Amino acid sequence: MPRPLWAGAISFGLVTIPVKIVSATEDHDVHFHRVHLADMGRVRTRKVCELDDQVVSQDEIGKGYEIAKDQTVPVTDEELEQMPLPTAKAIEIAAFVDSDTIDPVRISDSYYLAADGQVAAKPYTLLRRALERSSKVAVAKFAWHGRERLGLLRIWEGAIVLHSMKWPDEVRNPEELAPREVEVGEEEIEQALQLAERMTIEDLSGFHDEYREALEDIIAAKAEGKPLPAPAEDGKQEKGEVVDLMAALNASVKAAKESRGEDGESATVHEMRPSKKTAAPAKKTAASKKSTASKKPAKKTAAKKRSAS
């Protein structure tokens, strides 16, 4: 079992559930050291006091808040731990909401909550089964790493999971990022839905980090003095190239069908029929031709009158 990151309790009304927080994810990234290229010596960060220009050890470093220029107030870890907050050592459930009302953009890190001791087994199981039978998730508040946080409790694979969430005022408004309104045809939407259907899978277990694998191949080749792997071909479109949306969707659906061993010929979608708005200019042209034809006899009659005179 991974090392617990925090120990406290879930507060659920008058029910107290002793728990430990365990990280739900693992870091598999390849980490680099900063080195001096001339001799490969490690380059380390030195913590220096800007007043006396002396290197400071970790036990000499604390927290401080600048309330004005040249005036900083020290704050100790003990003072933070003793703040009069009910969430100081508890994950306090404040409410329950429908799970589909939580926007994923608000969810941050994820942790498992492990029952801490035999006394926690029954209330832990009670809360787990209550959440399993409902479509709701629990919204909680807890204090961690020097600040109060908003959390989300849900069940996954029989364990209670704690998701750290952003406060409402921490989520930026995306309205200014949305593109201007453009007209999208119904057949384009249907084709996009067909593509999504063809690309639907049952689980994500087949995904893996190809970047990390390629990076590990490069490191292994350099360590063994072998040539580096050949770079992958760049299949990106050139900047500024105009994309035919329907053609791209057709090609995408065809490729998705072929990857599943299906007949790709049926993926072709014909061009959209002109809408009434598109056909309007043609009617206008026909009307103008009719008008022109009716004016020609008038010119001929005028010519006859001049010859007669």
pLDDT digits 0-9 by tens, 278-300? 444 444 444 444 444 444 444 44
Within 8 A by CB and 6+ apart from 96, the residues are 134, 136, 137, 138, 139
First CA to last CA distance, the chain? 115
Query: What is the per-residue pLDDT across 198-244, written as a single tens digit (0 to 9) for each?
Result: 888 888 888 888 888 888 888 888 888 888 888 877 655 554 454 56
Average pLDDT over residues 132-150: 87
Is the per-residue pLDDT at 42 higher than 80? yes
Q: Is 9 exposed, middle or buried (0-12, 13-18, 19+ CB in 10 A)?
A: middle
pLDDT grade for 245, boundaries at 50, 70 and 90: low
Which pLDDT score is estimated for 93? 92
Which pLDDT score is estimated for 175? 83
Query: What is the per-residue pLDDT across 143-179, written as a single tens digit (0 to 9) for each?
Result: 887 778 999 999 999 899 999 999 999 998 888 787 8
Per-chain mean pLDDT for the chain? 79
C-alpha neighbours within 13 Å on the C-beta side of residue 238: 2
Which pLDDT score is estimated for 200? 85
pTM tops 0.85, yes or no? no
